Chains A and B, each alone.
Chain A
Amino acid sequence: MTDAPSLGPEQQFFADPALDRMMGVVMAMAQELYVTRDRLRGLETLLAEKGVVSTAALDRAPTEAEARARQDDLKEFVGALLTPLLAQKTSHG
């Protein structure tokens, strides 16, 4: 992606402009998430049509073993997502 020429600062709606900017990041991420969900659904549909996977099997609740395996992954995921809320340095200085 090439840098677009600057056309000046964007309009501000929140008292703290940081929130205006952060909302842009959040919405861009939400859009990316939806695009990915849509891609995944398309992929699943194609695979089901070809008989590679069963939609019912994909939609069923995880088995106990699967749920246990997911816990570690979730812990890591949530930790990475929310640790910045603690506002702690990770290096000296």
Chain B
Amino acid sequence: MDERAFSAGQAFLLSAKLFWTHKLFGAVKDEVRTASPQPKTLADVAKVLSPSTTYAYFEWFERHLQKMKYSGRYGLVPHADGLRRDLLARLDVNSPLVQVDPALPMPDYYTSVDVHQHPGGVWSDELAGFVYEEGARSTTPAMGVKHADLHQRFTDLIVSEGKPKRILDMGCGFGKSTRPFYRDLPEAEVTAVDLAAPCLNVAGVQASQDQARNVRFLQKNAYETGLPAGSFDLVTSTMLLHEMPPEKIEATMAEAARVLAPGGRMVHLDFHMLPDAFARFIHYGHAVRNNEVYMEPWAEMDIAALLRKQGFTDVTIAPFAEADNVPPDAWRFPWTVISATKAA
């Protein structure tokens, strides 16, 4: 596949996604806004939208634009496959910043579904980290090229309340969430863990280019890291929890409590607060259409109660603005910050 065709094919999809984000979503929202009586429950919203042709197109485009992004003729996967030798040459499998563990078992919940419709998931092909990195650039199309800003904004939020010295980033993926921490806090030691070796290897490439000396990427399970107890001031994650079944989320929170020092903070950025039945309906539909089967059970969890039960204090659940000017009527994720403190 030539690069110009790939670029044009992907640009077409992104443009169509923007139409979906603003126009199609706006039309669907209007159908619900003008419905009488006003829908109040999930079932009410379903009753309005199930017979709607506009909503059928909204669903179709959400499913298939993502499918075409990864798998179509100009998809990310065939594109990366065509560049396999060159991409593999960019990886430094002996990077001192990355420790992979080929013996680490991959949990069934993780391997049984290709999240984001990424064929083979983010873990099975050694190029998957590159594919995921490229795919994530258009995850939030309304933000355009400023998608990376949300990680910076999240880091800024945490740092505004104090500078941690020992940081654990759980489910770091290809390191986009980790990067603002190791760049902005050169005095801190940053440990980042993920199940996917292909993603960790991409994270290592970026960190090497950044000449980072204060970060290490380890192939580990977030709910069973094996890291020393009480060894972190901050445990964080970004877009991790919604990919896990409830029992693993509970175990991950318990693991965070274990590895945090007394008085340490835990701050997670994820999709959780859904202000009304329409937002909930759209989000749960997105979960099905984007192969993210644990999004709904995660959104239904009483995470505040769980954290208090586990002994955390100062539990807060708050909405998070991913950009300065979020278009009010465009489709967006329900960004939420979940934070808590380990009792001193």
Contact = CB atoms under 8 A, between A and B. Distances in A.
Contacts of A70: none
A28 B72 contact: yes
B74 to A, nearest CB: 7
Interface residues of B, number: 22
B12 A20 contact: no
B5 A14 contact: no
B60 A14 contact: yes
A32 B12 CA distance: 9
Contact of B59 (A13, A27, A37): A13
A10 B66 CA distance: 13
A34 B8 contact: yes
B68 to A, nearest CB: 7
Nearest to A20: B60
Contacts of A14: 56, 60
Contact of A27 (B4, B11, B68, B288): B68
Contacts of A28: 68, 72-73
Chain A CB count within 10 A is highest, among B11, B57, B60, B74, for B60
Contacts of B74: 31, 35
B334 to A, nearest CB: 22
B64 interface: yes
A91 B56 CA distance: 37
B13 interface: yes
A79 interface: no
B63 A38 contact: no
B72 A39 contact: no
Interface string A13-55: 1110000100110011011101101110010000000000000
B64 A27 contact: yes
B12 A30 contact: yes
Nearest to A1: B73
A39 B288 contact: no
A13 B4 contact: no
Interface in B312-328: none
A13 B61 CA distance: 10
Given A38-B4, A39-B8, A31 B73 contact: yes
Contacts of B59: 13
A39 B4 contact: yes
Contacts of A34: 8-9, 11-12
B289 interface: yes
A77 B116 CA distance: 39
B282 to A, nearest CB: 14
24 contacts: A10-B63, A11-B63, A11-B288, A13-B57, A14-B60, A15-B56, A23-B64, A24-B64, A27-B64, A27-B65, A30-B12, A31-B12, A31-B13, A31-B72, A31-B73, A34-B8, A34-B9, A34-B12, A35-B8, A35-B9, A38-B4, A38-B7, A39-B4, A39-B8
Interface of B: 4-5, 7-9, 11-13, 16, 56-57, 59-60, 63-65, 68, 72-74, 288-289
Given A20-B60, A27-B65, A39-B8, 17 more contacts: A11-B63, A11-B288, A11-B289, A13-B59, A14-B60, A27-B64, A27-B68, A28-B68, A31-B13, A31-B68, A31-B72, A31-B73, A34-B9, A34-B11, A38-B4, A38-B8, A42-B4
Interface of A: 10-11, 13-15, 20, 23-24, 27-28, 30-32, 34-35, 37-39, 42
